[in-house]
Structure 1
Amino acid sequence: MREKVSVDLGTKPISQLLIKQSVPASIGILVMSLNVLVDTIFVGNWIGSIAIAAINVVLPVSFFIAALGMSIGIGGSSIISRALGANNKEKALDVFGNQITLTLILITSFVTLGLFFNDEIISAFGGKGDIFEPAKTYYNIVMYGVPFLGFSMMGNNVMRAEGNPKFAMYSMMIPSVGNLIFDYIFIHTLDMGMAGAAWATTGSNFIGFVFVLWYFFSDNSTLKIDWSYLRLKWETISEIGSLGFVTLARQAVVSVTYLFMNNILFHLGGEVSVTAYAIVGRMLMFALFPVFGVTQGFLPIAGYNYGAEQYDRVRESIYTAIKYAAILATIVFILLMAFPETITKMFTQDPEVLKQTPSAMRWVFAATPIIALQLIGAAYFQAIGKAKPALLLTLTRQGFFFIPLILILPKFFGELGVWMSFPISDVLSTIVTGYFLNREIKTDLVKRSTKTA
């Protein structure tokens, strides 16, 4: 039965598959994003606006380490999808076993380093002035839960690769709901402040880990945790790493972006500007959940059919995914342009933050309708195992355009230059991605379709 779920990726209509894969992914991302959103609202209203800025300092550090698991998960899952498409279950099991071992070794090592250099890391990421102490309290506790989060992020992508999006959705929903419950208990009821927020996050990461572990020992999974496949093989980890590095590089650039943004905004506007960015950042994670869901749903479909040499279906999946994601992105754009003040008031009643955030939000989301092409285009190359173009296109927006822009534009436009950098980088990266994706379709997919016809 589990094998049939994977085979469906190569036989059922693309639109039907994309909905089947994307809806659970979107719901899971929605719940996870709502968790971050509501968590920020709780922290802002029950602890204070400085607490929002403190979490924004810690988030890129902890999430980068956890993203090692996500990177290994996405890199390995690309191989797993193609292996299952080619009916090579042995290779899929070998990759999965190596994913587990690699995730545990790398994340544990990075967490140890992160705890040893905690003061230096917090300061580097913008934990200055009144932000430092609450950020340190939150950081020191949250880091202990990062290995659980990393393993869950790895497992989540494997679930989706074997055609089980519902369980991937559950793996995101369970810790998210748990975090909200823990937030209420630790922050509101027990009045534990920043420590309560941190323990809520760590506790929710642990229960998510338990669910993922259960799944891979249960009959729901095609790929079992088998001790005989846990021994690392250089050829396997090299293949996982070449594709997973794309995701890791993207998250590394995101973390570097936070480093620059927090420091630049602190210099230009102090704690208020850092808090405004934290709120906008939460909306970036939350509002685009349906677009990210379509991207996640697209990956196993494209990877499986490419492995099965069904190139017409791969091409159809690209166009369908871009169409669906673009429609959803446009809806998000309209809502955010219309209600930025209302959204900001959910997080805080601080008058200075309320004054600055709505305008920043409109700038940040100004080019949202076109981002579908950039996301799907970069994801496609990763899905079919072409690591170099996937890496370059993934880094295009934030690495090649956004970071240089936030270093240059504020010199001419002040804080406005920071916010202007978002839509400009979106437009430029979409143009570049569109060019390479169109060329790839013509030079690779069309030719392969002709040969197999």
Structure 2
Amino acid sequence: MNRNKTEIIDDLEQKPIWKLLAQYSIPTALGLIVNSLYQVVNRIFIGHIKEGGTLALSGIGYTMPITTIILAISALIAIGASANISMRLGEKQKERAEKTAGNAFTYVTIVSLAITILFFVFKQQILGLLGITGQSASYADSYISIIILGTIFNMFSFTLPVIIRADGRPTLSAVITLVGCILNIILDTILILGLHMGTTGAAIATVISQSIVTAIGFGYFISRHSYLRLSKAMFLPALPILKSILKIGIVPFTNQLSISITQLVGNYSLALHGGESSVGVMTAINSILLIFLMPIHGIGQGLQPIAGYNYAKKNYKRAFAVFKLALLWNTVILLIGLILIQVFPAFWVSLFINDPSLVPLTLDGLRKFTFLLPLATVVPTSLSFMMLTGKEKSSSFLSVFYQIGLFAFMIYALPLIWGMDGLWYSRPISDIIGSAVTLFFFIRGYSSIIKEMRKEPVK
């Protein structure tokens, strides 16, 4: 490991919180940004296909619930295993940590193969459930079929860097992910712009890039540079390890699964009220949002070990101080994002939409969908804090409530009353209500602790 346990504990207890939050957040945020670039770059290239770019973008939009479910399962295994590996290494149980890593790789292999087989057995039923019809159907089919064939690389390209980070090599983890992203851009240029392979080329570029990341990741673990050493016995599934992975991984899994359901409902509502081209429009808008939302999720993850440790040590003042700082930073980031989007909307739209007939619709949707963008930090930042400070059940409930009970409902119900404007205002209205409900649970859940916090200055 790069640093000993005593040094890490000293930092968590004594280092200025702004330095500590930056130290933990920046690598995570960069990793999330780079990961999101896989999707964003693919959509930029696809949106600029000369013939049918927006329909191709709609095709990818229709398949997003599937790719999000794959991400949810990857997060379940990777984040659950990574957290357990960190804890076992902190307890000097290296063999147990190695067993956890080996089991994680086994579960990724089993689940990815199961997903691939089940998809092709029930392909027509799945595409029907997703509402994939019309002119965008061929684009969606060609894209998702290749992506599913590469599911094993998709899941490993997410899992391996996360576990490498837990092995004490955060820089290497980020570099591996960055290599995959750069390779994806190069291949997109060759296959989409050079060979005119459209969505098929985008999918092939993604799978090849993810397979290279997988190869590099496994190369690290079989080299002499890794701290964790894997043997055949480590890959044999163990029920106690599976339970420990699921216990921690269930929260990010639930969150991503809820997002998948929201995407499914959103696509249905978009196609019903705006036609299949509007699915491509919303895919472009969500891609623009992704650029600004990834940093705030990185800061949210970065605050967790700091807040969780200090909360457990009953240093509540410090724990809540890092939460408030994270909330402030995220608000500033999203405020900058709001200004950039509202002042230069044409620039952002031009990255994804090249159909002149759809540009006005996209501009209108982007402005309305994002006009309360800074509020989008309240729910994820609060849930990140609650997850590691004894409020796991509330965090899981609020995550499902926000994505399904609120956002999915709004994106379905508002257009019935308000037409297309209902679609565009579904996000800001959901953020207003979601923020209010989250703050209510937050204040109620920590009220006694807030009252008891001592008045001495934060260390």
Normalised to the residue count of structure 2, the TM-score between the two structures is: 0.88
Are the aligned partners of 1:30 and 1:286 in contact in 2 as well (CA < 8 Å)? yes
Q: Which moved more, 1:76-85 or 1:132-141?
A: 76-85
Which secondary structure does the structure 1 equivalent of 2:177 belong to? Answer: helix
The residue type equivalent to 1:364 in the other structure is F
Aligned to 2:353: 348
Task: Tell me what 1:78 maps to.
Answer: 83
* 2:152 alignment partner in structure 1: 147
Deviations 1:267-291 (A, max 9, x none): 2121221111110121122222221
Residue 80 of structure 1 deviates from its aligned partner by 3.9
Partner of 1:435: 440
Match of 1:192 in 2: 197
Contact 2:25-2:301 within 8 A present in 1 as well: yes
Contact 1:81 1:300 in 2 (8 A): no
> In the TM superposition, what is the alpha-carbon distance from 1:423 to its structure 2 partner?
0.9
What amino acid maps onto 2:141 in structure 1? K
- Find 2:43's aligned residue among 40, 43, 47: 40
Instruction: Indicate if the aligned counterparts of 1:242 and 1:387 stay in contact, CA closer than 8 A.
Output: no
Larger CA deviation: 210-219 vs 440-449:
440-449
Matched, 1:176 2:181: yes
Change over 3 Å in CA distance of 1:239–1:447 after alignment to 2: farther
Structure 2 residues not aligned, in runs of 5+: none
Aligned residue identity for 1:34: L
Amino acid at match of 2:213: G
Distance in 2, Cα, partners of 1:303 & 1:168: 23
Q: 1:389 to 1:344 in 2, by over 3 A?
A: same
- Is this contact kept in 1: 2:62–2:279, CA < 8 A? no
Residue number in structure 1 paired with 2:215 = 210
Amino acid at match of 2:181: S
The root-mean-square deviation of aligned C-alpha atoms, in Å, is: 2.8
Sequence identity percentage? 30
The structure-2 alpha-carbon separation of the partners of 1:192 and 1:256, relative to structure 1 and needing over 3 Å to count, comes to same
> Could you say if the C-alpha distance between residues 84 and 326 of structure 1 is closer, same or farther in structure 2, counting changes exceeding 3 Å?
farther
Residues 369-412 of structure 1: per-residue CA shift (max 9 Å, x gap): 12323112212233457542231122232112111112221111
The one-letter amino acid paired with 2:442 is L
CA separation in 2, counterparts of 1:361 and 1:114? 33
* Alpha-carbon contact 1:149-1:208 (below 8 Å) kept: no
SS in 1 for 2:351: helix
Q: Relative to structure 1, is the Cα distance of residues 304 and 93 closer, same or farther in structure 2, using a 3 angstrom cutoff? A: farther
Q: Equivalent residues in 2 for 1:103-182 (5 A)?
A: 103-161=108-166, 164-182=169-187
Within the alignment, does 1:271 sit opposite 2:303 as a pair?
no
Deviations 1:173-227 (A, max 9, x none): 1211111111111122222232212111111111121222233344655444344
Gaps of 5+ in 1: none
- Contact 2:222 2:230 survives alignment (8 Å): yes
User: Letter of the aligned partner of 1:181 in structure 2?
Assistant: I
Counterpart of 1:291 (choices 284, 296, 306) is 296
Q: Separation in 1 of the partners of 2:312 and 2:231? A: 24
Partner of 1:236: 241
Q: For 1:77 and 1:442, locate their aligned partners in 2 and report how far apart those are by CA, in whole Å.
A: 32
1:403-442 alignment, distance < 5 Å? 403-442=408-447
Alpha-carbon distance between aligned partners in 1 of 2:168 and 2:386, rounded to the nearest angstrom: 19
Kept after mapping to 2: 8 A contact 1:5/1:163: no
Sort the Cα spacing of 1:223 and 1:381 in 2 relative to 1 into closer, same or farther, 3 A.
farther
CA distance in 2, matches of 1:441, 1:164: 35
Name 2:4's counterpart in structure 1.
4
Say whether the 8 Å CA contact 2:58–2:278 is kept in structure 1. no
Q: 1:152 to 1:38 in 2, by over 3 A?
A: closer
Alpha-carbon distance between aligned partners in 2 of 1:93 and 1:218, rounded to the nearest angstrom: 15
For residues 414 and 171 of structure 2, the distance between their equivalents in structure 1, rounded to whole angstroms, comes to 44
Deviations 1:263-316 (A, max 9, x none): 211121212211111101211222222212212322343445566776554334
Q: Is the 8 A contact 2:76 2:253 kept in 1?
A: yes
Distance in 2 of aligned mates of 1:32 and 1:2: 24
Please give the alpha-carbon distance, in whole angstroms, between the structure 1 residues aligned to 2:310 and 2:229.
23
- In 2: Cα distance, 1:241 partner to 1:406 partner: 31
Q: Per the alignment, do residues 241 and 87 of structure 1 end up closer, same or farther by CA in structure 2, a change over 3 Å counting?
A: same
Contact 2:103–2:234, Cα closer than 8 Å, also in 1: yes
Q: How far apart are the structure 2 equivalents of 1:187 and 1:373?
A: 39
The 3 A distance-change label for structure 1 pair 208 and 313 is farther
Question: Using the alignment, how far apart are the partners of 1:179 and 1:301 within structure 2?
Answer: 34
Aligned 1:306-345 pairs, distance under 5 A: 313-345=318-350
Aligned length: 450
2:425 is paired with a residue whose SS is helix
Distance 1:398 1:185 in 2: 37
Paired residue type of 2:415: P
Alpha-carbon spacing, 1:113–1:150, altered in 2? closer, same or farther (3 Å): same
Which of the numbers 399, 407, 410 marks the counterpart of 1:402?
Answer: 407
Specify whether residues 225 and 309 from structure 1 end up closer, same or farther in structure 2 by C-alpha distance, changes over 3 A only: farther
- The CA deviation at 1:439 is 4.0
Shift of 1:319: 2.5
Assess if the C-alpha contact under 8 Å between 1:74 and 1:157 holds in 2: yes
Residues of 2 paired with 1:103 and 1:447: CA distance? 45
Match of 1:29 in 2: 32
Partner of 1:253: 258
Deviates more, 1:10-19 or 1:360-369: 10-19
AA aligned opposite 1:198 = A
